[in-house]
Structure formats: C-alpha cells, structure tokens
Chains A and B, each alone.
Chain A
C-alpha cells in the first residue's frame, strides 16, 4: 500500500481548467457568523485540501456546496454554470457528491441498499439493472475495503470503518465531478485510508476534483495538490502543496497569533499537587492540565465519560469530598437547554444553591451568575434572555460557568473549543490556566494538536480504544503527538514532513477501531412472533368454540377482521417512514358515513363508491402528510387535530348511525363469487403493497424512517416520500370504510365507536413488530397484529369475560407489545436521541 500517492501524483500538463469556483460565500446562523467570505477554485483533476481550525467554517462551506444550507451571500459555479443546490438531491444532480463527517448510514438496511440509496426515483428505478448494481457495488467496496463485505448483510453489522467506507462508496457510485470528503478519513483504519487515497487518485485521473477536508497534516501532505486555509470563516490563502509546509499552514490557520502564553504550565512549578483522582493506571493531581488526544473514535471519548463516573479519590478527613464536573461535547444536544434563559442554563446543575426555604431565589441565582460572567468574559445583555441569543463561544462559556459553579476540584472537558471563535477560545484557555494555577485538576479532550501543545502539562494519546502513550510537557511536539496517533513504530519519524513525498506511509493497523456492534435487524420487522401468536390464539379459539371450524363462521370472522386489519394496514405506512397517523380511525368512520350517504342518494355502483372512498381517504391522508412534512407539524399533533376535524364532520352528517347496504356491499360482507369478502378486502391491499415493494418506494420509505438525515443527504426527497406514505395510508383507510359498511351495513361516528379503533390500529401495528420509531415493518405484519388482537377479543368473548375486562386485556396487550418491541430492538437510548 505504500507509495501509491507518489506514483500516481503526476502533475497535469495542460493548463488546468477550473471545475468549481467559489466566490465570496457567507453564512450566519442567528448571532453566529459561520462563514464570512470564502473564495477559491477547484481545478479539474486536483485534490484540493481545505484546512482550518474547529469553527473556521469548513463544515458550513461543505454544507452549502452539498445543498444542505443556502448561502447568505456569494455564489458557486460548477463548470461555469451557477450551482443552485437548494437541497442535497440538486447538488448530487449537478455532480457534487459529499461524504459527511458524521457517518451516514441506515443501520437496518442492507449494504447494497445503503450504497444505492437516493439513486432511484420515488416509484421508478434508475436505468441500472440489479445485477449491474451488485457488480458496481462490489467493485467500489472492494476498492475501498480490499475485500467486499456481504452485500445483503445489514449495515449495522459492519464496523465503524466499514460503515464510513459505505458512505464513501455511496458518493463514488454517483461518478461525481466534485467529490467532497469532510473528515471522511477520520473513521477509517489506516489500510482503508490508503486504499481510499488510491481511489481518489484514480478519480482525479478522470478529470474530477476532490475537496479534501482533514485535520491531519500528514494526510494533506500525502494526497493534496493544493491547500486552501480557512480562518474565522474567511479563506486566507490557497497554496500549492510544495509551498505549504506544516508550519506555514499552522501560521495561516491561527493567524500567527499565540493562542496561549507558554511557560505557565504546572510542570514548571516546584511540586506536584495532591492526588485528586485515580482510575486504572491514571493518576490526576491538583493543578495539572491533562490532554486527551488521538484520531476520532479511538476510545478517548468513552474514557473521559467513564472518568466522570469514577468519582474523586477520597478526601482527607474534615474536608469536603472534591467534586467532578463535566462539560459535554455536543453543545446543542448535551449542554444547553435551548428555550431556557441564560441564567436558568447556568444554574441547571446547582439548583440547590439558590434554594431558600424550598424556593429558588432569582436574586441569588443572578448574583452567582454575575460572579462568573465577568471572570469568563461572557458577553450578553440580560441574563433573562434565551441562551440561543448568544454566539457559540458565549454559550460554551455559560456551560463552563455552570460546571465551575458546582465548585469542582476536577474539571473534565470534552472538546470544549469545538466550533467556537478564536476570541472565545483564547478566553477559555486563559481561564483553564488560571483554574489550574488555583489548584484545580483539568482533563481536556481536544481534536486540535495545537491545543495540546499550548495548554497541556501532559497528553494521553489514544489508539485502538485505550491510552497508548503518555507524553510529558517536555516531550510534547507536533510530530510526537501525531506520531503516537498511529503507533510507536513511527513515533519519531512520521512528522508531517516525513510523511510527505517518498517517506514510508503510516503503518497498517489491522484491527479496525472498536465499533459499536448493532444487532442485525431485518427490515421486515419481527412479524414471525405475531404469526406464532396468531396461530396459537386461533387454536385456543377453536378449542373453546368448535363451531369456528365451519366455513360459514370463517366467512363471518373474515368480514369482522377486515375493518381492523385494514385500519392497521392504513396506519403502517406513516409509521414506516418515522411518523404516525392517529386520524386513520376517524377517517374510516367518516368515509363509511359518506358511503352510507351516497347509498341513500342512489349512488350504489361499486365502480364509483370504491374509488371515491379510497380517493377521499387519500386526499385527507395527503393533507396530513403535507402538514407534517412541509409545514413541519409534529405528526402526533397534526393528526390529532385532524382527528378532531374528521370526527366533527362525520358527526355532523351522522349524529346517529346511518344504515343501508346494497348488493355488492352485502356480498363483500359475506362471499363474493364464493370467496369470503373479508379475504378479498384484506388480500387486495396486501397484493398492491407487494407490487409497490417491487418499486424502490417501500425501500426508500424504510430508509427515511431508519435515518432521515442519511436519506436526505443521499438525495432522497424525504418530504415527498413521507407524504406519499400518508396518502397511501389514507387510501387504505378509505377501503377500511368500505369494509365497515360491508360488515355492519351501517356507519357511525360516535366517539365510543371511533376511539377504541384508534387504539386498536396502533396496537396492531406495534404487535406486528413494526417499529414505532420507523424503518422496520410491513403491511402483512400489521394484519397479523390485527388478527392477534381480534382473536384475543374473540377468545375473551367466547369465555364469557366481560367486555370491560377484555378492554383491559386489550390495553395490557398493547403496553406489553411495545415494551417487548423496545426490548427486542434497543434500550433506553431511544428517548434521548429522538424528536418526533
């Protein structure tokens, strides 16, 4: 694998043509300016590295180019044509393919489906045949991974490195003109990264351009032809690789400003502080700052979190036990409380300090905050304003103030300067030194090598899930730290300079980084359980009620099963896409009322009523879908409102049940041409769904439910796919309305009739094994779930158990079913990560 880069990196002879031109791009998020003024050009056939510190605007630029965000100012030209990418699909269509920093895949779907995600239209496949897809997928993955993993295995079964390769493969399959790799190599093991570089070289050989974003000097030195440096949202220089030694790049990235005044480190002081914390072989002393370094995902993050729970060493008698405070990595999800005020954000961890006689004293909280506000140089107007009015740097200072307010002796920081401006960084560095000088012990994870050089007394470098090396202050150098990223063999030789040119490449690390193993999950959901339950219950029913074996009772049973089965089926598509539609039951009640009204007015033809019923349902479903997906209503709230409205309309037409039937409807309730009508009603949607499954739609819908951001960035029109799911559900609800009239020969809109149906439909979906979080399940599973519920009710009825008890059993079944489903799929983490 060594030397690939040097052999293939031949300069192009002809004057290089500009493929992508970026002119004066700017973008702000609220008070935070992410990108000020960014201009540079990508030439055909080059690998162009983009470098900059955390928060310099790299990721924002990538997101603009890939259609995630729209720029506030400036423009992008691709092959002299303006690139107007208002969403990722448009960027992909223009030939820009992006691999994002966060590993993007749909865990429950197969490797093959993950690779081709976003390629197809909503209902029509792209031109490539399945065999072609397999061959191409195998070729691309083999190029990246050396050997091809099982294409039909779920992506969840892959290691982190393999999943990242999957995301890269998805971009490569598009044959992009411009390939953007945003820290895409950080999750790769070294061998895979070398293969990626070879692939990149081949791609540029065909005239494509690669925008390569990496923190790592050695990677940039190895692969890039030119380098553009971003500083505080401004592109400060574009250099040829030969003119860009590491020192020069660092100078450009930091603006030649000394971040911290060196020389005040704790090791300069005479004596080591008191031991505050021990964990494993690690000892933390008062007054020192320990850095955690390493490539992304080498275990430093987990180690730091672990340290949080270890707790401090026992304090000498008579002194209060020293506390540990933690500043989390993901500011938006783990640190701030967006709707709450700055002051409430500050006091979150120390509520008891402001409590006087059981009540929180606002004055006390304000006074406490004022003490930290000056010390941390937090710029704000009023501490009653929402925290979101502050810039990222000031938000982070409030979060640090919150941690300090607990008066900890040990402060743990997880990449605290990520994404904040340089002024705030400098303030935080100064604060940390001051705190250490006052006797606090600090452990700080940082992805910036320079932070380690400037700030730390010693650095633990993580590799393969553990602290592989410890470097003291006097051993700290860029090359020493970066060298330890890869292993002791190159600790002295793999500086950025050494890695460039013909020097030996980084060694192959055979073990991939420790990946979180996901339990492989079939996309179809856990329907076999429902099937077994249904068969068992059927046997029990027959055991209690022998008459069930007769043909005539089968006809009745199927007619009774049809409405709940159709209601369950109608609820399923929205759930598959990660939403929910609770207005299915009132919708089917409304449709049944409309059918009865039609019958009353002489509208009796099946050829008119059935399409009208399904059509009316589809219209209402579409309205739900549009509200949820285009107007961004919460699915529960929007469909709940629709429940009110539909029930109201149905009640207005049918204050009391309306009766009536006609020839074919009576037949559907019994037999039509010798076939039980209930069977027809259940089978037709199943067959239609099976046909739909042959289009890309169902697969795409499950992908959207499994990971909406992955699907969206892969170019799927998430809103349209989801909206269609609500439309299909609505149409099925219309058919359920037909089934109601066929079975009961009447329609009613009473809440006593409708409310249990709402419950039943969702219960059946959950019982069938369809994940209510989206992504897994199908229509057949829901029919089985409905059958289970139906058979339970039937059994209880046959045993002469009161309808109230059967109601209770029914509710209990639902709770147990969702508990079971949650146990099968995953545990507690779901609540935290999900917003619906």
Chain B
C-alpha cells in the first residue's frame, strides 16, 4: 500500500519496483514498519521493554510454529495438523516433565517420535495416493489429540518446568543481552532453516519437488521422501513450539493449537511464500512479525479477537492476490 505507490508516476520505475517486490518482500517490510510505528505512537512508548521485546517474544512462538508450515507449503502441500502436534508437545511437557518430573530428554524424545511418525505418515500418504493434504492432516490432528488425551485425561493437568519458564520470559537475558532466550533461539532457528533451504541439497530438493513434482521425480529426486520429510519436519517444529509454549502456559490446553494454526498459515502466506516452490523462511519470519504487530494494533485499538480473524482473512486474500493465483484455464488446454 505504501511501497507500491512510492515509486511515483513513471511507469518504468513502477515496473522496476514490482519486479523488486517479486524478489524481495519490500511491501511486507514497509507494512511491518508502519504497523510497529503506529502501535508505538498510539501507546506513546517506543521503549525496548514495552514495544519491541513483547512483539519479538510473541512473534517467536508464532514464527517457530509456522516454520514447518513453510516447508510443507513449499513442497506444494498444506498442514492443518500443526495445532495437534503443538498441543501434543505442550501437554506432554507440562504433565510429564512439569508434574510427573520425568527426565526432560525422555519427554522430548517422546514428542519427537509422535511428530515424526504422525507427520511422516501424513506426508507419505498424501504423496503416495494423491490425497488432499487438508483432509489427511485434519484427520491426523484429530487422531493425535484424541488418542493422546483419550489414553490419559490426566494429561490435561500440568505445570511448566521451571527452567522452561525462564527460557520464555521477557525479562530473561541471553548471555547478558536484554533478549529473551526464546527470541535468540528463534533467530538461530531462522538462520539454520534458511541455510538448509537455500544452501543444502535437501533444501533444494524441497524446492524442486514443489516447483515441478514430475520433473523432480525424473531428475532423480525421491519426491515421496521429500513429502514425508517435509511433513515430519513440520510436525517436529510444531511439537517444538508446543514444548516451548509449556514455559508460557501453566497447564495443558487442547485449544492452544488453534491460536497458532491459522495465524501461522497467515504468517506464511502474508510473508509471500506460495505453494509450489516460491518463498523462504525469512519471509515467514517477517509474516509472523506482521501478524503479531497486527495483534498489538488490534489490542491498542481495543478491538476483539473477532476483528482479528476478519483482518487475517482479508489480509491473506490480499496477499494471495499479489502473488499466487492459479493459471488461467486457457493456459491449461
């Protein structure tokens, strides 16, 4: 809205800007800056502790939860089971580690096993049988949460392990820096995911599979593995977000997943990552920051969660209009 018109009336410069926008998320950066400035202005407070740190903290959970969705969308799928694995990680950590005092490594291993098995199966099944990912992942999320809580309803009671609370508190410092450890963790994760996507063969195979499934298969990429791997990674990253959220929430909550599934998806799409090999994780991070800043704006304006949902929906519609629409029917004949 700002960057697109900032180029002025001349057509060539406008076109150049449109080309640049296709390559870099200029518009997103502009929107983010505008949002943060507006929130700061409305609060009359631009201090680190009252503006920047809270936004970064909130965005870090969303960004971690949406990392997996980014991978899945890049290979051309969709993952609606993010919420379920997040809940699984959250409940197991608060109950087993927080209340039953299990060894945390054991809990982490259990979460990892559930996520890899469930996510891997969904990805494999979608690829092997050409199923609609929406349906399979929705079904899997019912299975995961239902079976988990059905096995032991006591899972709903729990408490956060103490050290984890420190990890996710805004007042905590990282190596003396006034940065909450969770934010530092998010930055490290962003670097790692970006490196893997951009510079390793595994990351390239993800893009190849998303950009041309059949061509990738013919070029020797084992696309079934890529699908299974992307969904497993998505589940693991969601589980990780759930574990970290345990430091935030006092007890288990089966609805916590929904507050990250749809906003996470919105973060990926608003960042400019589209199905079929276009986008990257840094865009998702940007998207997560925008979504979080929007939430702050909504609370600054005293609007409720209903408005928040409407704004998300409209925002995603707008972004998709800019980037990723289907080919015309005439080009498919």
Contact = CB atoms under 8 A, between A and B. Distances in A.
Pick the most buried of A632, A640, A718: most chain B CB atoms within 10 A of its CB.
Answer: A640
Contact of B145 (A807, A813, A815, A829): A807
A58 to B, nearest CB: 15
Contacts of A712: 329, 333
Interface stretch (B93-101, B121-129, B175-183, B234-242): B121-129
Interface of A: 63, 68-69, 87, 100, 326, 328, 333-340, 344, 347-349, 351-352, 355, 358-360, 402, 580, 582, 627, 631-634, 636-638, 640-645, 647-652, 655, 708-709, 712-713, 718-719, 751-752, 755, 758-759, 762-763, 766, 772-773, 801-802, 804-815, 818-819, 822-823, 826-832, 834-836
A830 B204 contact: no
A338 B278 CA distance: 10
Contact of A333 (B134, B142, B147, B212): B212
Nearest to A765: B135
A835 to B, nearest CB: 7
Given A830-B129, A834-B130, A645 B204 contact: no
Contacts of B201: 351-352, 355, 360
Interface in B280-333: 304-314, 316-317, 320-321, 324-330, 332-333
A752 B83 CA distance: 13
Contacts of A637: 269, 316, 320, 324
A337 B143 contact: no
A810 B309 contact: no
Given A339-B278, A652-B306, A822-B130, A713 B333 contact: yes
In the A-B complex, the 7 residue pairs with the closest CB atoms: A811-B142, A830-B130, A808-B146, A644-B313, A648-B309, A807-B146, A648-B310
Interface of A is mostly: helix
B211 interface: yes
Interface stretch (B6-14, B109-117, B159-167, B217-225): B217-225
Contacts of A641: 312-314, 316-317, 320
B309 A651 contact: yes
A333 B316 contact: no
A805 B313 CA distance: 32
Pick the most buried of B132, B143, B328: most chain A CB atoms within 10 A of its CB.
Answer: B132
Contacts of A631: 321, 325
A101 B316 CA distance: 39
Given A640-B316, A822-B130, A829-B130, A334 B214 contact: yes
27 contacts: A63-B330, A333-B214, A335-B215, A336-B212, A337-B208, A339-B278, A344-B207, A349-B219, A351-B204, A352-B201, A355-B200, A355-B201, A360-B201, A580-B134, A627-B317, A632-B325, A644-B312, A649-B310, A709-B329, A759-B139, A759-B142, A763-B139, A808-B146, A812-B142, A814-B139, A815-B143, A832-B214
Given A636-B78, A640-B265, A712-B333, A808 B147 contact: yes
Interface residues of B, number: 79
Contacts of A772: 131-132, 135
Contacts of B309: 644-645, 647-648, 651
Nearest to B132: A772
A833 to B, nearest CB: 8
B313 A582 contact: no
Nearest to B313: A644
Contacts of B265: 640
B262 interface: yes
Nearest to B227: A831
Interface string B14-39: 00000000000000000000000000
Nearest to A586: B309
Contact of B139 (A649, A708, A812): A812
Interface string B264-275: 011001000001
Contacts of B316: 637, 640-641, 644
A270 to B, nearest CB: 36
A361 to B, nearest CB: 9
A344 B210 CA distance: 13
A348 B307 contact: no
B195 to A, nearest CB: 8
B75 to A, nearest CB: 11
B291 to A, nearest CB: 12
A650 B304 CA distance: 12
A402 B219 contact: yes
B327 to A, nearest CB: 8
Given A641-B320, A644-B313, A645-B314, 14 more contacts: A333-B212, A344-B207, A344-B208, A348-B215, A360-B200, A640-B265, A648-B313, A652-B307, A708-B329, A751-B258, A759-B139, A808-B145, A812-B143, A815-B143
A758 B261 CA distance: 15
A640 B325 CA distance: 15
Contacts of B125: 815, 819
Contacts of B329: 708-709, 712, 718-719
A808 B150 contact: yes
Given A333-B215, A634-B275, A829-B130, A807 B208 contact: no
Contacts of A360: 199-201, 204
Contact of B330 (A69, A655, A806, A830): A69
B247 interface: no
A173 B49 CA distance: 76
Nearest to A636: B134
B326 A634 contact: yes
Nearest to A710: B333
B130 A651 contact: no
Contact of B143 (A355, A655, A808, A831): A808
A171 to B, nearest CB: 15
Pick the most buried of B144, B305, B317, B328: most chain A CB atoms within 10 A of its CB.
Answer: B317
Nearest to A634: B326
Given A334-B214, A334-B218, A807 B135 contact: no
Given A337-B216, A808-B146, A762 B275 contact: no
B153 A348 contact: no
A359 B200 contact: yes
Contact of B325 (A633, A751, A810): A633
B145 A804 contact: yes
Contact of A351 (B138, B205, B215, B311): B205
A549 to B, nearest CB: 30
